[in-house]
A and B are shown apart, each in its own frame.
Chain A
């Protein structure tokens, strides 16, 4: 199954021709902040769609958790960039993430019932896996400000929990 965000992240982070190739070009702190914030916002939007469409309690509870946690982390991120006087800078990774998310949302919007639940949760598993991989291998090592790095590390722990939670729910839907 083709996954929006997964494909976009894979293209950006793991393919050598990508604009943000791993070793060649490290993202700057303003870019990292923008990527992390964007990744959170996109997951909140997907969660809102799931809360609206799904009738499965496990799926809705999971989606509410995504909304709650990502809003909390993004608020921390906003407070931090304000404190550091950093202006998040839009970049190709953020743009690709947003474009891929729009495509996935359009696909999810057409699905109903169990098919929607399955597609949403499977994408959540893949999305968190890829974002966590990007945090671990690229964003955290590239961050130069210690507080930004710390927030990203906290985020990674939270998002690993999300991934496990999504895997658990995906297992229940089978």
Chain B
């Protein structure tokens, strides 16, 4: 019972925020590993807007000199790209 209670209390704390930087049209790091519940936060250093978009999935706007984030809800792998600059690509592996 105690361990269950601890797990319930502790589990939100395990949710991490994973930082990705966008500089000169490059996602860095381009490949990340995460868990369900984690948040990915993109920091856009460019003077132009970007997105982090998964076909049929999330679509995050990341304005110029600003940030955008998404909380991962499902396990699996996702390839994402910028809708405005389709040659910008990133990859996320989400563990359950």
Contact = CB atoms under 8 A, between A and B. Distances in A.
Contact of B87 (A68, A75, A154, A165): A165
Contacts of B84: 65, 68-69
Contacts of B49: 68, 72
Main secondary structure of the interface of A (DSSP, over half): helix
A161 B47 contact: no
Contacts of A76: 47
A158 to B, nearest CB: 6
| Chain B interface residue bracket vs A | 10 to 19
B48 interface: yes
A73 B48 contact: yes
A72 B24 contact: no
Interface in A132-174: 154, 157-158, 161-162, 164-165, 168
A165 B85 contact: yes
B78 interface: no
Contacts of A164: 86-87
A72 B47 contact: yes
Contacts, number: 37
A73 B83 CA distance: 18
Interface string A65-85: 100110011011000000000
Interface string B1-37: 0000000000000000000000011000000000000
Interface in B42-96: 46-49, 64, 83-88
A158 B86 contact: no
A169 to B, nearest CB: 9
Interface centre among B64, B84, B86 (most CB of A within 10 A): B84
20 contacts: A61-B83, A65-B85, A68-B48, A69-B84, A72-B64, A73-B47, A73-B48, A76-B47, A157-B24, A157-B25, A158-B46, A158-B48, A158-B85, A161-B25, A161-B85, A161-B87, A161-B88, A164-B87, A165-B87, A168-B86
Interface of A: 61, 65, 68-69, 72-73, 75-76, 154, 157-158, 161-162, 164-165, 168
